[in-house]
């Protein structure tokens, strides 16, 4: 499950393998499969516009992991993203599902690194599940492999 409140490139990161300056944000949802070695992962990319956020919980039930992407170079968006993430993870149906927080746009000046994201997103307050945070750049394809490795490690049964 790939989620984001704002336009920060989550579709590219895990689904298309290509970066485009004129990407169109996800409206509604997309589903794609990623195969790495002998593991195939089904990835749902849910739109982040306010009208779709109410659907996040429904699509997150029963998934192996939640990938939550934020724009690491925009402090205002990080604050709103933090609130949405914590609201989502407060849902009892999602208890225990591991979360990978990705701070995209690390190639931009003043983008937060992992420690800055952990602090700004208040990730240390999340105690009921495994949580991991990486700083990535979709544009530079930086840390994308480690993201896929984390997903593979948290994929209990391949395609779900």
**Residue stretches of the annotated binding site for GTP:** 48, 104-107
Paired tokens of 128: 């009921």
Which parts are annotated binding residues? 26, 48, 104-107
Which parts are annotated binding residues for Mg(2+)? 26
- Please enumerate in sequence order all residues whose Cβ is within 8 A of that of 99, keeping only pairs 6 or more positions apart, or say none: 65, 66, 67, 68, 85, 89, 126, 129, 130, 131, 132
């Amino acid at each position: 499950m790939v989620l984001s409140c704002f336009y920060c490139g989550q579709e590219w990161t895990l689904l298309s393998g290509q970066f485009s300056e004129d990407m169109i944000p996800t409206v509604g949802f997309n589903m794609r499969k990623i195969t790495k070695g002998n593991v195939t992962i089904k990835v749902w990319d849910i739109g982040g516009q306010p009208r779709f956020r109410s659907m996040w919980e429904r699509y997150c039930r029963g998934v192996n992991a939640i990938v939550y992407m934020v724009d690491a170079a925009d402090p205002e968006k990080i604050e709103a993203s933090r609130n949405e993430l914590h609201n989502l993870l407060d849902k009892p149906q999602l208890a225990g599902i591991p979360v990978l927080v990705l701070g995209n746009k690390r190639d931009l000046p003043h983008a937060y690194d992992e420690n800055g994201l952990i602090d700004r997103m208040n990730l240390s307050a999340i105690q009921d599940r495994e949580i991991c945070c990486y700083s990535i750049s979709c544009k530079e394809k930086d840390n994308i492999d480690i993201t896929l490795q984390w997903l593979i490690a948290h994929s209990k049964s391949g395609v779900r």
